[in-house]
Amino acid sequence: MPRTALLVSGALLAALLPLSAAAHAADDPAPTPVDRFEGEVPFASQPADGIFTWGGDADDPPALHLTDRADAPEGAKVLTGTYDISGYGGFTHDFAAAEPAHDWSAHQGVRFWWEGRNNGRKIAFEIKDGGANGEASELWTTSFTDDFTGWKQIEIPFTDFQYRTDYQPVGGIDDVLGLTRMWGYAVTLPAGTKGDFAMDDVELYGKADQTLRASVTTDAPVYPVRAGGTAKVGVTLTTTGDRPVDEPVTVTYRTEGGTATAGRDYTPAEGTLTFPAGTASGTSRTIEVPTREDKAPASAKTIPLKLTVTGAKAPAEAPQVVLDAHGLPYLNAGLPVRRRVADLLSRMSLEEKAGQMTQAERGAVGGGGDIAAYGLGSLLSGGGSTPTPNTPEAWAKMIDGFQLRTRATRFQIPLIYGVDAVHGHNNLDGATIMPHNIGIGASRDPQLAYRTGSVTAAEVRATGIPWDFAPCLCVSRDERWGRSYESFGEDPALVQSMETMIQGLQGRADGRDLSRDDKVLATAKHFVGDGGTAYGSSTTGTYTTDQGVTTVTRRQLQDIHLAPYKTAVERGIGTVMPSYSSLDIVGDGKGAVKMHARGDMINGELKGRMRFDGFVISDWNAIDQLPGDYAGHVRTAVNAGVDMMMVPYSYKDFSGTLADEVKAGRISERRIDDAVSRILTQKFRLGLFEHPYADTGGASAIGSPAHRAVAREAAAESQVLLKNSDGLLPLKKSEKVYVAGSNADDLGNQTGGWTITWQGASGTHTKGTTVLQGMREAGGNVTYSKDASAPTGGYDVGVVVVGETPYAEGVGDVGNGHSLQLSAADQAAVDKVCAAMKCAVLIVSGRPQLVGDRLGEIDALVASWLPGTEGEGVADVLYGTRPFTGQLPVTWPKSESQLPINVGDASYDPQFPYGWGLTTLTDVPRGGAATLHALAVAAAAAERRGAGRAGRELVAKARLLVQNKVGTGMTEAVAKPFADADHLLLTGRYGKAVEKLTEAYRAA
């Protein structure tokens, strides 16, 4: 591409050019233009060749223009833009997907002109390498700082780029910047304040000299070896572009320093490895370090290996050979856990104990060097924090890499890695995604809850993760709460009945199954009262309910919010997570106090009266919400009973501050020993000391037909039939069905928040089947029109699937951009279809939606909740393969003004009461008051003899009889005793339950 004359003087340009740009070597290749911004590259979008903008929301993409500028460094035009980014935004030049990729490997780097604003902001610059096209490639990133005024040529050698591990649309290729298949570049602009920019002439410059394109790496940072064995350190030469080296590369090595003693613990090693000119990329050599046998018990010892490299880039860190700890009592798997814990604890320093109480985010520790440096006890993946690619193999490899780092510590205490698998292994692409807890609660099936927990545990453990931050035992008392779908329901008795999930996750209550390759440590959260926070009480950002204040009497606290934790402790729950919210107990004089500071609840209630023997893990950065300075945060939370602190990015500050507080006497050593003992106990129970690395034997079952069959059954059982005029459901396969609505064919809406990412997302982001696909696979005669714009004539029945889009936590609070009303598009779809034909409306949502004003025109109404990835389960009940059996886990209100409304309220007049749920494929019992009286007598007798199954069946018959009479004639006089009956059923009072149903029957 020929250059046009610059419109500035040669002297001025020379002054502007950096020295490196003004004096290139004579044998450098000529610069290769990428973008001149003269109009040769259009503004377009993938898969076309062009420049396109992007951003986190509609306001974030910048506005771009090609602008005539007399001072343009090259040509007549420059690229200019304005931006006002709240989340993230920028622009990309992708080469067309249909074109051959570009080869940049002959050059030293990429450069461009940037007009400085001298604002000190960082601008990220990325290049796209390998893969099929620009959207299926690796991202390599670096940045520069706008700390200058006027035009400046920014030069970035390719060696400055780092592989992005935090985000990748499709996954990695080979994690090597090959430069032979390049798909363009991207610029990420700074967020937070308005700005503008000008840019010109992106080009490749310089010659790719060998020291910039050749690298020496080792195959691991740590090489554990038993005393007497020989460590073998693999050294590999790699080059960008995969071309052989032109000049020799030498690696001189020697063992030096560390805690092992040369001559006694190992034989010193030194020498030189040579990779001659012409050596192919990927060639490896081996360094051997022999160690000496040592029968005396000893902790681990390190032997650093110093590498000096010429002709190539040296490894980022020097590898270490580690002599494994051996012969110490805590390593003896035959000893009781209590003795192993006591022995290990007695050997640890204060700093090592502080490290065990510290949990960091995987993204914060990079390659993991800080794991050993700070003796970290735990890592986690926050929502959406995944390896690249997001596969079971990549998860296991990542976690094994982190575990390897622990081998370089004195006692080689393994990490315990945690993840929010709240409805299946929901961070993992292709995992089996279950209905959210609200749907599991609707199933009223404790055995199903157990099975979903079992599937989740098996898929999580198969990727190397031994710890799950689930289940949520919140008792949701106000559906304006953005976490309400994480609750099994509004009745503590229902929540307690679903805690069989704990055994599905952990196995038997005594912890003997935790070391199995299909079980994980579970977490009861969020202790205590998170489901009772009052609307408008939150002070966290724009949240209205989440992380707010729960105000209760002590009796309400015990009966409603603490009851599920008592059950969890009895079931052997391994960890408990306090809530972000505050608790205000009426009459105790303390006012609203953050739960992470409530020692009376954590130390007193949980560890004291309930005798919880696991450990308490904080929520994400929760201590930062406590009053006072940082030392006060640490001191308050630890003294209140929090044993491990989730401090994702501030782990260095936390562990150091914790040790300082102990040295100052403000936290007792006894308290530290208690916390660390609890943590170590669970690590021993999990078998991590014997098997720290991932056992991937069960990985082939992730997302398997057998696992998806459980999720399909759960989806079917979670469906609650609220109305069914003239037996419209189940559908007949011979009927012509018109399907519409925003959630009929959207897997992301169907799975909700906490799916692949923290907030979830609409669209297809994992493997699964939508409701529409399930109906088609069931053999239904289906026509689909999302917005109901297709003609509606000639159909037997309409199915309109509407509801919410994904959200998580306080982001989903009503009043924070969300409401309980259907969207205008959903309302229009319901109105159009239901006016034209008989219709069934399915509401796919995390909480009830207000449909009372349209209930008259709807023939059948289904609360579908968030059914997960298996839409066939919904189709199963729609077409009668399975019966509708679900019951409301929460009260369905008539209006938002009724909220909060819950079973047991003195005033109770909902649209549908707690426990309501019609059935299909089941004969409704005949009879009236006399039949109900007989059922009550029989139920009371079953209760007396402890015949729970018989008692539940008798109450179920009475419920169906009552529902059949009530029909659509719901009144307060019916609703209140009906809901009370379901609570009585769950507490085992079968006779009283039928008496309440009889009261509802008489009021109907």
Q: Residue ranges of the alpha helices (H) in 823-878?
A: 824-836, 872-878
> How far, in Å, CA of 769 to CA of 777, rounded?
10
DSSP string, 626-647: SSS-HHHHHHHHHHHT--BEE-
Q: Kind of pairing, strands 582-585 and 523-527?
A: unpaired
Which of 490, 713, 745, 809 is flagged as catalytic? 809
Q: Which amino acid is at 166?
A: D
Q: Which residues contact 128 (CB under 8 A, 6 or more apart)?
A: 94, 134, 137, 138, 139, 140, 182, 183, 184, 185, 186
777 included as an active-site residue: no
b/e burial code for range 85-121 (CB count within 10 A of at least 16 → b): beebbbbbbbbbbeeebbebbbbbbbbbbbbbbeeeb
> Cβ(671)–Cβ(708) under 8 Å?
no
Conformational region of residue 85, where left means phi above 0, alpha means psi within -120 to 50, and beta covers everything else: beta
> How far, in Å, CA of 338 to CA of 58, rounded?
57
Query: Three-state SS for 363?
Result: helix
> How far, in Å, CA of 790 to CA of 811, rounded?
35
Q: What's the number of CA atoms in the CB half-sphere (13 Å) around residue 531?
A: 28
**DSSP letter (8 states) at residue 313:** B
> How far, in Å, CA of 807 to CA of 371, rounded?
33
> How far, in Å, CA of 316 to CA of 369, rounded?
11
Q: Which amino acid is at 17?
A: L
Q: Which residues contact 499 (CB under 8 A, 6 or more apart)?
A: 449, 471, 473, 564, 567, 568, 571
> Cβ(902)–Cβ(495) under 8 Å?
no
> How far, in Å, CA of 87 to CA of 71, rounded?
32
> Cβ(903)–Cβ(891) under 8 Å?
yes
Q: What's the number of CA atoms in the CB half-sphere (13 Å) around residue 846?
A: 33
**DSSP letter (8 states) at residue 217:** E
**Long-range contact set of residues 1000-1004: C-beta below 8 Å, sequence gap at least 24:** 1000/962, 1000/966, 1000/973, 1000/974, 1000/975, 1001/928, 1001/929, 1001/932, 1001/961, 1001/962, 1001/965, 1002/929, 1003/971, 1003/973, 1003/974, 1003/977, 1004/962, 1004/965, 1004/966, 1004/969, 1004/971, 1004/974
DSSP string, 81-142: EEE--SS-EEEEEEPPTTSPPB--TTSSEEEEEEEEE---EEEEEEEEEEEEETTEEEEEEE
809 included as an active-site residue: yes
Which of 38, 619, 872, 982 is flagged as catalytic? 619
Question: Both tokens of residue 252?
Answer: 């001189």
Spatial CA neighbour of 720 closest among 871, 863, 858, 849: 863
Q: Which amino acid is at 275?
A: F
> Cβ(325)–Cβ(300) under 8 Å?
yes
Q: Which amino acid is at 223?
A: Y
Report CA Rg, the chain.
32
Q: How far is CA 143 from the centre of its chain?
A: 28
> How far, in Å, CA of 548 to CA of 526, rounded?
13
Active site amino acids:
619, 809
